[in-house]
Structure 1
Amino acid sequence: MSAKLRVVVVGAGPMGRTWLRTIAGNDDVELAGIADLAVDVADQAADDAGHPGLPTGADAIELARRTNADAIINVTVPAAHHPVTTAALLAGYPVLGEKPVASTVAEGLSLAACAELTGRLFMVSQSRRYFRNLFLAKRQAEALGRIGALSVEFFKAPHFGGFREAMESPLLLDMAIHQFDAARFMLDADPVSVMCEEYNPAWSWYAGDAAATAVFEFEGGARFTFAGSWASPGFETSWNGSWRISGEHGTVLWDGDREPTAELLDGAGSAVVGARADLGPIADPGTETAGSLREFVAALRTGAEPMGRVHENVLSLAMVEAAMRSARLGRRVAIDEVLGESYETALATEANEDVLRVLKSWPSVRAGLGAARRA
């Protein structure tokens, strides 16, 4: 590996340009090239980022080889996540990819098996895990004892235009995965089942359902409640949402931006407002994409386990698929129902015989994901 991690960014749209700025701010990373099916768009992105003459091309793997890149950052549209990441892993390149891991859980399972096959890291940039105050809220929650309820409210009114306003389930598909993933991080547990309802306010400018309420059961019995809308003007929440963690010894509140606060019970059972446990030092995970890029580099250089390894991240997308299924069917949906059907789909549709062999070697989908996560 180079003294600096040389990366090719695949995708030169708005999010790709965000990653170009993130790379420019990391002294351990060097931009080797930009790939996009529209090469002129890649050329323009390079010029705008202050890299005139930077190598570009339509084929990410050819470009990575031509530029002696060390890794690939996949910032394509979700439908391209699976083919682009698969090609990169099979070509020997570690990949940092934008969320979601893939368009479907079945494709996510294929990518997990491909990463096992090649021995290359595939990490998903679940960027909203990378906030120091989220880590602080998680640490404060450790003083609460057993957690009974975790809830988040997410209410915004963005006018995106474009594909989001035409999507069938814009809130669940494009945004809620951030809060679902953060809930897994907060509880340090995996989801068991969900009951969800989607709806669209009468004044909504979205074609699909822009609002949803979901209640997840987690391992250990805790409940996670998500309530949100993308058509809710006034008193908007943080993009991270507004959180409450309720446990046997008190409550932690986090508005999504500022430091969280805790109200704990003292030995006599009286509330101590604003009390904080002896937390010790809180690691700074970095912020959003800068944090995930930093962790990706550290994982490649040291072998440390990153938060977003594909096997770990698939369950966050499974929460989204389960919530959408619950809303459509009007019943509680088990996460294992989604995982099991996705596993069968992955087995039936996998085109690469070696990847299929890895998938078939898993005793079950949970065992396959869990064993790799513990390795």
Structure 2
Amino acid sequence: MKEKMFRIVVAGCGGMANTWVEYAMGRQDTEIVGLVDIRLESAECMAERHGLSCGKYVSLEEAIRENEANLVFDVTIPASHHEIGTAAMKLGCDVFSEKPLAESLDGCLDLVRVSDETGRSHAVMQNRRFDPNIRALRSLIKEGTIGKPGFAGADFFIGAHFGGFRDAMESPLILDMAIHTFDQARLILGADPISVYCHEFNPAGSWYAGSAAAVCIFEMSDGSVFNYRGSWCAEGAPTSWEAQWRITGSAGTAIWNGSDSPYADILTPQQEEQAFLKATKRIETSPAAGGASWHHRCLDELFDSLLQERPAETDCRDNLLSMAMVLGAMESSRSGRKVLLSELLGR
């Protein structure tokens, strides 16, 4: 594995930035060399909180040039991700960004283009991929436990009273939250989206201005169909934040309630020829217990990828396909038609 010292500039000094900084400070091969925020006092507060003596800036370019940085943590608001990511890569830095990749398809595509042109890495924090239960569910599918998948369904129903900007968004569920479930579907099935039909709506009793509920049907590259049903204004009987999953295959079904260990219910080897319902048996999983948080595991993957000089699992080129599911669903909802993802991606 290549030896390297990571000189990190942190852009955006609030929220999850503290978790990323704490992680970096725990590594022997990293140094926080600059903190950047449009409000200088936010950078100063973060430096004091973590006992950092690095420079504080309002200019990303100045922070990178003065400190010969080679990695930028982009923990800014979504509207800034394209600007921060492209600037950092053009200045010679690799980038690790909070989701989403960018707010628009053009922004997402441009980040991939700049990564290609500069040869710099750009990866996204998709922490839920690193939930041990999701990895265990993915293994059930990958190992052929339920045969060839034909259908995957995810239900997400939570009455989330955030207040603030989400209450005023046009598509709060799809744009702000569904990226996680869509990205999980790609991981679990090991397949990519081909097309989407989406119907967004705002149910009775909703406190959101925009569409806080949606039903989406995705055709996937493995021939399966992924169905997402969700609401952010569903009072009572909430699902897990990771959704409730059912994946049916040619030899059985995999189930995950979003909290406990997933399991499979599969056909037994010997069956009565004329049986109306075939006999099945339950297969349990044993997800890895304890260990680092999902955020830390995603950061581990980033640094491993940089040291091994390979794309990260959440590299921008891969994450573009999860973002295309979000943006394709919104386009389908607006137009009232099925949208081919190739139309959006120009492929």
TM-score scaled by structure 2?
0.91
Give the structure 1 partner of residue 275 of structure 2.
Answer: none
Report the Cα offset of residue 190 of structure 1. Answer: 1.2
Rate the CA distance shift 1:140–1:54 in 2: closer, same or farther, 3 A.
same
| Deviations, residues 316-374 of structure 1 (Å, cap 9, x unaligned) | 1111111111111211111112222xxxxxxxxxxxxxxxxxxxxxxxxx4xxxxxxxx
Report the Cα offset of residue 155 of structure 1. Answer: 1.3
Report the Cα offset of residue 2 of structure 1. Answer: 7.7
Q: Answer yes or no: is the 8 Å Cα contact 1:194–1:323 preserved in 2.
A: yes
- Percent identity of equivalent pairs: 39
Q: Measure the CA separation in 1 of the matches of 2:199 and 2:185.
A: 19
Rate the CA distance shift 1:256–1:24 in 2: closer, same or farther, 3 A.
farther
Give the structure 2 partner of residue 231 of structure 1.
Answer: 233
Report the Cα offset of residue 282 of structure 1. Answer: 7.0
Q: Measure the CA separation in 1 of the matches of 2:303 and 2:212.
A: 36
| Deviations, residues 3-36 of structure 1 (Å, cap 9, x unaligned) | 6533221111223234334434555543332211
Aligned residues: 338
Match of 1:314 among 306, 320, 327: 320
Rate the CA distance shift 1:24–1:246 in 2: closer, same or farther, 3 A.
farther
**How is 1:1-375 mapped onto 2 (pairs within 5 angstroms)?**
4-24=5-25, 26=27, 28-48=29-49, 50-51=50-51, 53-141=53-141, 142-269=144-271, 270-276=278-284, 287-340=293-346, 366=347
Please say which of residues 62-71 and 217-226 is displaced more in the overlay: 62-71
3-state DSSP of counterpart to 1:228: strand
Rate the CA distance shift 1:239–1:26 in 2: closer, same or farther, 3 A.
farther
Q: Measure the CA separation in 1 of the matches of 2:28 and 2:137.
A: 29
Q: Answer yes or no: is the 8 Å Cα contact 2:217–2:225 preserved in 1.
A: yes
Q: Measure the CA separation in 1 of the matches of 2:223 and 2:171.
A: 28
Q: Measure the CA separation in 2 of the matches of 1:62 and 1:2.
A: 26
Report the Cα offset of residue 46 of structure 1. Answer: 2.4
**What letter corresponds to residue 8 of structure 1 in structure 2?**
V
3-state DSSP of counterpart to 2:80: helix
* Deviation >6 Å, runs of 4+: 281-285
Q: Measure the CA separation in 2 of the matches of 1:247 and 1:63.
A: 52
Q: Answer yes or no: is the 8 Å Cα contact 1:263–1:271 preserved in 2.
A: no
3-state DSSP of counterpart to 1:144: coil
3-state DSSP of counterpart to 1:42: helix
3-state DSSP of counterpart to 2:245: strand
**What letter corresponds to residue 102 of structure 1 in structure 2?**
A
Q: Measure the CA separation in 2 of the matches of 1:273 and 1:31.
A: 52
Q: Answer yes or no: is the 8 Å Cα contact 2:268–2:281 preserved in 1.
A: no
Q: Measure the CA separation in 2 of the matches of 1:235 and 1:31.
A: 44
Report the Cα offset of residue 84 of structure 1. Answer: 0.7
Q: Answer yes or no: is the 8 Å Cα contact 1:22–1:289 preserved in 2.
A: no
3-state DSSP of counterpart to 2:145: helix
Report the Cα offset of residue 109 of structure 1. Answer: 1.2
For structure 2, the residue ranges without an aligned partner over 5 or more in a row are 272-277
Q: Answer yes or no: is the 8 Å Cα contact 1:73–1:95 preserved in 2.
A: yes
**What letter corresponds to residue 108 of structure 2 in structure 1?**
G
Q: Measure the CA separation in 2 of the matches of 1:260 and 1:25.
A: 32
Rate the CA distance shift 1:204–1:23 in 2: closer, same or farther, 3 A.
farther
Q: Answer yes or no: is the 8 Å Cα contact 2:3–2:307 preserved in 1.
A: no
3-state DSSP of counterpart to 2:35: strand
3-state DSSP of counterpart to 1:84: helix
**What letter corresponds to residue 334 of structure 1 in structure 2?**
L
Q: Measure the CA separation in 2 of the matches of 1:160 and 1:54.
A: 34
Q: Answer yes or no: is the 8 Å Cα contact 2:121–2:311 preserved in 1.
A: no
Q: Measure the CA separation in 1 of the matches of 2:207 and 2:58.
A: 35
**What letter corresponds to residue 232 of structure 1 in structure 2?**
A
Q: Answer yes or no: is the 8 Å Cα contact 1:132–1:284 preserved in 2.
A: no
Q: Measure the CA separation in 1 of the matches of 2:205 and 2:25.
A: 41
Q: Answer yes or no: is the 8 Å Cα contact 1:131–1:285 preserved in 2.
A: no
Q: Answer yes or no: is the 8 Å Cα contact 1:132–1:285 preserved in 2.
A: no
**What letter corresponds to residue 321 of structure 1 in structure 2?**
L
**What letter corresponds to residue 310 of structure 2 in structure 1?**
A
- Structure with greater proportional helix content: 1
**What letter corresponds to residue 332 of structure 2 in structure 1?**
S
